Structures are given as C-alpha cells and as structure tokens.
Structure 1
C-alpha cells in the first residue's frame, strides 16, 4: 500500500492561522531546502528571498550541530530567538524542520501553546 502524501501547504496554512500574530511558516528538509512556506497576508518579509534560503540552510546545519548533544543533554524540544523585530521559532519533526516567525514580545505562555499545537500538526513529518 502506498504511503499517504502529506499536504505540506495545508499544514503551513494551519500553522499561519493559529494566531493573528503569526508572520511566516516554513517546512524545511534536512539539507535546509524550503519544501513549503507562506508569509501571512498583509505582512512584509523582513528578509529577501536569498536571505530566507540562506537562513533556512543554516537552520538545518544548526540542527545537525545540536544533535551532538542529544545523548548528554536530551533532544531539543524547540529553539526560540527573540529579536527586536520578530520572534523566530524552530521545531524539529522526525525528518523535517518547522520554522515560523511571529510578532515580537508575545507572552511566553502563548508561544508555548503555539509550539504544542504545531508539534501536533507536524507529528508525521
């Protein structure tokens, strides 16, 4: 029996629609290639296309680097970077990476709630 094809666009749309302060969501493969991505309507990208692609490559490289510490420290649950203009979050699925951004200074409990929902949406990836 053939494996069910996952609709990545549908998953990314669901992630973007989780909260009004979401800006961008992407599913990235282990090499850092963007498999699917959406910028929320009405939001402007803070990075150029080339910068976005370069950033995603680095996200994948950092995942590989963090794996070195999985045995001693445990697996990474999520990565959170708070910048002046945007909050950046990364969640690791089995074979893919989910990268999303939101407006800065959102309460941490809201971010944790979003991370939990995104992990449930992407459990099969």
Structure 2
C-alpha cells in the first residue's frame, strides 16, 4: 500500500470523524463537546464548542476518558445475557456525560447538566447509528 493511499485513507477517516462529531454537536445546543475515544480511553478525535472546556487538568481529562472506556468495556461482558449497551449516562452536578459504543470506539458526549437526558440520549443515539467507524 503506497504512502499516498494511506494518507488519503487517513484524510477520509478524519473527515468522517469530523462529520460524526459535528452531527452530534448539532443535535442540541446544550451539547458542549463530542469525543471519539478508542478502547484504551484515548481520544482519537474531538470537537468542542468555543468556551466550553472542562475545568480539569490534562491528566484528569485522560482519566475521565479511561473511565468511560472501562465502563463500556465492563458492560460488554453482559452483552450476551442482557443485550448490547445502547449508552451509558453519568449525571454530575455541573454536566452530563453520555457514552455511546460504536464498533471498537466510544462516542463521548458532554452536555450541560439538568437537561432532558433521556430525550437527548435518544437523539444522539439516532445520530451516532448513522455512522460506521472505520477499523
């Protein structure tokens, strides 16, 4: 496989992730950021609204991403008897976190707290299902 083909595939992959993140971000104005993370909890892509960064150190942010990955991973242990995870929701005082498994990745959505969580989760899940992340 030539280097130019690899570069082209990487660009297409980035455009697909951009499209996914922007689609989810546009679901609701209360959504602050959308990240795509891998199984190890590392962000492979992120889009955030201006001025909505979390008041955390980089190391704390990495730990938050790892926590989301571990929660989804452990939940998958029960896929056979209980069915696949649709999403995981964590409600905190200052924000809500939603984790949506999609293939080998997780779409992590942060939003303002105290909004219609179930309604928002359903809308985001519908948007996420339209995408198929490349391996």
Which TM bucket (shorter chain)?
0.7 to 0.9
Measure, in 1, the Cα distance between the counterparts of 2:55 and 2:130: 26
5-14 or 93-102: which moved more? 5-14
- State the match for 2:109 in structure 1: 100
- State the match for 2:82 in structure 1: 73
Displacement after TM superposition at 1:109 (Å) = 4.9
> Given the superposition, is the C-alpha separation of residues 63 and 108 from structure 1 closer, same or farther in structure 2, using an over 3 Å criterion?
closer
TM (norm. structure 2) is 0.79
- State the match for 2:33 in structure 1: 24
Is the radius of gyration larger for structure 1 or structure 2?
2
TM (norm. structure 1) is 0.84
Q: Is the 8 A contact 2:86 2:101 kept in 1?
A: yes
Q: How many residues align?
A: 123
75-84 or 53-62: which moved more? 53-62
What is the aligned-residue RMSD (CA, Å)?
Answer: 2.1
Displacement after TM superposition at 1:48 (Å) = 2.3
5+ long unaligned stretches in structure 2: none
SS in 1 for 2:107: strand
SS in 2 for 1:110: helix
Tell me the alpha carbon deviations over residues 40-66 of structure 1, each in whole angstroms, 9 at most, x when there is no partner: 113232322221111112221222211
Displacement after TM superposition at 1:73 (Å) = 1.0
Displacement after TM superposition at 1:111 (Å) = 1.1
Measure, in 1, the Cα distance between the counterparts of 2:127 and 2:55: 22
5+ long unaligned stretches in structure 1: none
> Given the superposition, is the C-alpha separation of residues 11 and 102 from structure 1 closer, same or farther in structure 2, using an over 3 Å criterion?
same
SS in 2 for 1:106: coil
Structure number with higher helix proportion: 2
